[in-house]
Chain A
Amino acid sequence: MKVRTVCLTPWHVAPGIPLAKAALQRNGNVLLAAGTLLTEAHLNQLRERGIDLICVELPDHRSPEAVAQDIADAEARVSHLFRGPGSLAREELGEAMMAFRHDGVS
């Protein structure tokens, strides 16, 4: 089965999903290792410790056409937000945002 890595808050993840990357505490120590199958207790532990972001592996049922459409939609939204002229700094932010959105839906 095809999977993809998605980064979400512990409030938006259901039990039974594996961690794609280790969940780190604020001091950088590993709280849960990559590959851990998340339980409700794990998710509560992450929430209580103020960990806002975890990266999990989700099954990817999208067809190649659907992936291409998601990429096109994400790029169109970034282009719309960054329409019109602006400084070089704004342009660089727009490029970084485009790459971030592209990675997020690929």
Chain B
Amino acid sequence: MKISLEQLLTQADVLPTLPQVVHRILHALANERADTDTLVDHVAGDPAVVARVLAAANASAVGAGHVDSIRQAILLLGLDRVRTITLATAIIDRFRPTSHYDAQHLWLHSVGVAVCSQAVAQHAELDADMAYAAGLLHDIGQLLLFTVVPQHYEAVLRLKRERDICIVDAEREVLGIDHALVGGALAKHWRLPLPIVDAIAAHHAGETVPDTEIGDAVHVGEVLSHGLDLGASPNDLVPDLSELACARVGINWREFSSHFAEIEARFAVARLVLGL
């Protein structure tokens, strides 16, 4: 079965839309209005997100007493950490109950890619929060494909297993399209900031990766997360890695390997805080 982007996007409303708080945070990042007051204002409008963020902040601040406000959480944990906790809890909670697809595995992998993309962006002196957000959302195309054409997506997963190939190759063969393109189109449909749209669309583009800074960070971050085995799937396969993207983010793996232990630790803490 071949499926077109247009066909998929007409059914995009089968997925819940992203919470407003996520839109507000991402657009604030894109507009460089990422200060404490802005974040407090954005989160305060969503009591469910406030409750989840405070629970996560308390989980990550053992012994610090009860964290009972977003401002206190920022004071204790720092603005960057509260922002990433907010994004992750809001996105994961919104999609976790809606799909029969192995959402737990998808979000575990996505958090791994977010953490790796953030580290790569920090190394390249790019916007690390934007890279984290793009990493979290990089596989939303898989969610849409599985939700709209579940039987065909099962065939994709079967082909991937049988031939031991990367997911995008199986998707292109079965559906004539891949989740990166679908995810980029969905992100555009949702009016997410352009760097995130481009990064999602480009994360499997291989040597044809277009020149998007956050796209480079997410592509390299995704491959690194597979290499570090962060999702720990028994038959995982490290996808191919673009030489061009590595050169653009200035990665020398022998030197960058000094960050591997810290990346693993950040991932372990994120799992703990997010309950994954």
Contact = CB atoms under 8 A, between A and B. Distances in A.
B257 A53 contact: no
A81 B254 contact: no
Q: Majority SS of interface residues in chain A?
A: helix
Contact of B229 (A9, A48, A81, A92): A81
A50 B240 CA distance: 33
Contact of A100 (B237, B240, B257): B257
B246 A89 contact: yes
A48 B262 CA distance: 17
Interface stretch (B74-82, B90-98, B142-150): B74-82
Given A9-B269, A48-B76, A50-B78, A89 B241 contact: yes
Interface string A83-103: 110111110111111011000
Interface residues of B, number: 37
Contacts, number: 97
Contacts of A40: 63
Main DSSP-derived SS at the B contact region:
helix
A21 to B, nearest CB: 11
A94 B238 contact: yes
Contacts of A83: 164, 237
Contacts of A89: 241-243, 246, 253
Interface of A: 7-9, 11-12, 40-41, 43-44, 47-48, 50, 52-53, 77, 81-84, 86-90, 92-97, 99-100, 104
B236 interface: yes
Contacts of A90: 223, 238, 240-241
A90 B223 CA distance: 8
Interface centre among B224, B242, B253, B272 (most CB of A within 10 A): B253
Contacts of B257: 96-97, 99-100
Given A11-B62, A12-B268, A48-B61, 20 more contacts: A11-B268, A11-B272, A44-B64, A47-B64, A48-B64, A52-B262, A52-B265, A53-B262, A81-B226, A86-B238, A86-B240, A87-B243, A89-B241, A89-B242, A90-B240, A90-B241, A93-B224, A93-B227, A96-B254, A96-B257
